[in-house]
Amino acid sequence: MNRKPNSYEGVALVSPVTIDYEKQSDKQAEWFIGRALAELLSDSGLKKEDVDGIALSSFTLAPDSAVSLTNYFSMTPRWLETIPLGGASGVVAMRRAARAIQAGDAEVVACIGGDTANAESFSTLIDNFSGFSSNAVHPYGAGGPNTVFSMITQHYMDKYDVKREDFARICMSQRDNALAASRSLFSKPLDLDSYLNARAIADPIYLFDCVMPCAGAEAFLLMSAERARSLSLPYVEIMASEELYNAYADDDIHYRGGWAMFRDNMYSSAGIGPEDVDLLHTYDDYPAIVMLQMEDLGFCEKGEAARFVQSTELTWNGGGLPHNTSGGQLSAGQAGAAGGFIGIVECIRQLTGQARGNAVENADIAVVSGYGMVIYDRCLSSNAAILKRGSA
């Protein structure tokens, strides 16, 4: 892969917004999305009329979509995007919106991932996630993504000599991060015994390897860096970003993702390497998938993530590689499509000095990665972005 995208220069990400997660909610997806929109305006000082683009991801908004919201919220945007890519949605929303800003198709784009959650919404979602999964995976025990990822995890553990204790390093550090960020649905630290003795979901996946489905929203604004400066908004710039679909399709089982195909391009576009990165936010649907990203994004050699997480502090203040400092989905919760936005929102917070109780010292450069859409036996979307603190 040698083709590189054009530069994302001149685009700014501002106003990181999180609408507090709730385990279950009687409210509609529109409430979480609308609250996020209101918070974006309040943070940026912009008026609703200033937002002329919307990029939206939501599972529970159906049968409505982004266009429905223009009526609901009485807006007349000239640019609209619905991104149905689950955990890959945030980076994709950012990329699409950045191009719209550069091309002049929009001046201010609200990027929002938001969902509600109730007793039925999660099982309805995973039972009907795709045609292939509802026909060729669901009948085999109706295990949802746990069926697929238990097998990917088992294979990864066998291939690279990975133990549950290695996954525990990721899950426990993210719990510490979540508690520091005071935005967790969990109130207690996770210790090794609790992790190891949790109930089996689909061996080798146990309770704390799984995300907790919940309701909530994550959002940010894109505009030109010039506009951000004129509004005196602290901002983040995109040094490089890539996306890829159905990478390594000939692998019998998933053990590497598209990140490995595009990472050389991405770092070369940014003019930096993994050693220059101050914090990393991976898509953490399961800890084995976090390890794939650490390897494929170049933070350690292929197959070495277990040793890497054992020898590297992953907490926000551990002095190693701060990882999923928000707590990620494993410890903050998975608010549907907001799970695809949680990483970017946290990176904007960290790089603009807006972290809450979990500020990484001297954070100038972050890598955020996305992963989504388990259509049959693996997720098909992988992407990443290198973000840096905007120059004042």
Partner 1 sequence: MTDKLLPPEKRTAVWKTIDHAARQGQFVLPVCEQCDAIQYPPREICHNCLHDGLQWQEITSAGEIIASTALNASTSAFFREHLPHPVALIKLDAGPLVYAHLARTELKTGDRVELVNRCDINGRGVFIALSAGGTEVIQAESLRAMLSEQRTN
Work out whether 138 is an interface residue with partner 1 (CB under 8 A): yes
Which string of DSSP letters, residue by residue, matches 157-222? HHHHT--HHHHHHHHHHHHHHHHHTT--S--S---HHHHHTSPEEETTEEGGGS--B-EEEEEEEE
Binding flag, residue 127, partner 1 (CB under 8 A): yes
- Tell me whether residue 154 or residue 265 sits nearer to partner 1 (CB atom): 154
Q: Which of 2, 47, 76, 139 binds partner 1 (CB under 8 A)?
A: 139
For 323, the 3-state DSSP assignment is strand
Pick from 61, 137, 168, 360 the residue near partner 1 by CB under 8 A: 137
What is the Cα 80 distance to its own chain's centre?
Answer: 21
Among 7, 70, 123, 310, binds partner 1 (CB under 8 A): 123
Site string for partner 1, 357-376 (x = CB under 8 A): -------------------x
Binding region for partner 1 (CB under 8 A) out of 31-39, 142-150, 168-176, 267-275: 142-150
* Alpha-carbon Rg for the chain in angstroms: 19
Q: Which of residues 232-261 bind partner 1 (CB under 8 A)?
A: 252-253
Stretch touching partner 1 by CB under 8 A, among 120-128, 185-193, 257-265, 309-317: 120-128
d(CA 330, CA 211): 5
Query: Which of 1, 62, 67, 142 forms a contact with partner 1 (CB under 8 A)?
Result: 142
CA distances from 185 to 34, 165, 283, 372 (A): 22, 23, 18, 23
Nearest distance from residue 126's CB to partner 1, in Å?
A: 6
Q: Which is nearer to partner 1, 26 or 120 (CB)?
A: 120
How far apart are the C-alpha atoms of 388 and 276, rounded to whole Å?
Answer: 11
- Distance separating alpha carbons of residues 145 and 226, to the nearest angstrom: 43
Residue 111: φ, ψ to 5°? -105, 120
Work out how close the CB of 298 gets to partner 1 at its nearest, in angstroms, rounded to a whole number.
Answer: 26
- Contacts to partner 1 from residues 181-240, by CB under 8 A: 199-205
Q: Which is nearer to partner 1, 127 or 165 (CB)?
A: 127
b vs e for 211-245, b when ≥16 Cβ sit within 10 Å of the residue's Cβ? Answer: bbbbbbbbbbbbbbbebbeebebbbbbbbbbbbbe
Which residues of this chain interact with partner 1, rule CB under 8 A? 123, 126-127, 131-132, 134-144, 146-147, 150-152, 154-155, 158, 199-205, 252-253, 376-377
